[in-house]
Amino acid sequence: MNVEAAVQALVDAGVEFVIIGGWSAILNGSSYSTNDLDICFARKSENLRHLAQALAPFHPRLRDLPKGLPFVWDQATLRNGTVFTLDTDLGKIALLAEVAGLGTFEQITGGSVVTEAFDRHVRMLDLKSLIEAKRAAGTDKDLMVLPELESLLEAEEP
């Protein structure tokens, strides 16, 4: 997964997004690793256009789409869905319009911070929001990281 190139492409195209999931955990200090990039994106028309343009060079296709079925990657496709789990030339990227437990892009920006990473300024979930999201997602994989994230939160408390 070339997460650096993916993030840079998104930022450089002017996409409004928040890094969520595993990479958000890593940026917050988690020692777990991940093999995909999860982001929550704003559903404004202009942003969908930027998002479509940003990833188009990397040939995104839906991961669960049977081989041979046509898939059009454009603004209209993005408008018609809220969750896209993609294979791209850069690796696996999941695009979510809404995060369980937190809400839409507009709702989660308050629980996010801008940091410098991947040679860009990027927005990512803060620890508290990330913990809420993991708890709301509730899968074994999500719950497994909670003890570590809660330790980090407790260690950093004033």
Partner 1 sequence: MTPEELARAEDRLRNPAPGSRIEAAKKFGIDLTLLIGQLRLSPAERARQMHEVCRVAESVRGAARRRKP
Q: Pick the closer one to partner 1 by CB: 65 or 114.
A: 114
Residue 155 structure tokens: 């260690």
Whole-angstrom distance, CA of residue 97 vs CA of residue 52:
14
Helix (H) or strand (E) holding 147: helix 146-156
**Selected binder of partner 1 within 9, 10, 18, 27 (CB under 8 A):** 27
Q: Is there binding between residue 107 and partner 1 (CB under 8 A)?
A: no
Q: Which one among 117, 126, 135, 142 touches partner 1, defined by CB under 8 A?
A: 117
Among 9, 10, 23, 52, binds partner 1 (CB under 8 A): 23
CB-CB contact of 92 with 115 (8 Å): no
Other CB atoms closer than 10 Å to residue 158's CB: what's the count? Answer: 2
Binding of partner 1 by 35 (CB under 8 A): yes
- Using the minimum distance from each CB to partner 1, give the nearer residue, 29 or 103: 29
Site membership for partner 1, residue 87 (CB under 8 A) = no
Residue 45 C-beta-side C-alpha neighbours within 13 Å: 0
The CA-CA-CA angle for residues 100, 102, 60, to 5°, reads 60
Segment contacting partner 1 (CB under 8 A): 40-48, 64-72, 81-89, 113-121? 113-121
Given the rule CB under 8 A, which residues bind partner 1?
1, 3-4, 23, 26-31, 33, 35, 115-119, 124, 147-148, 150-156
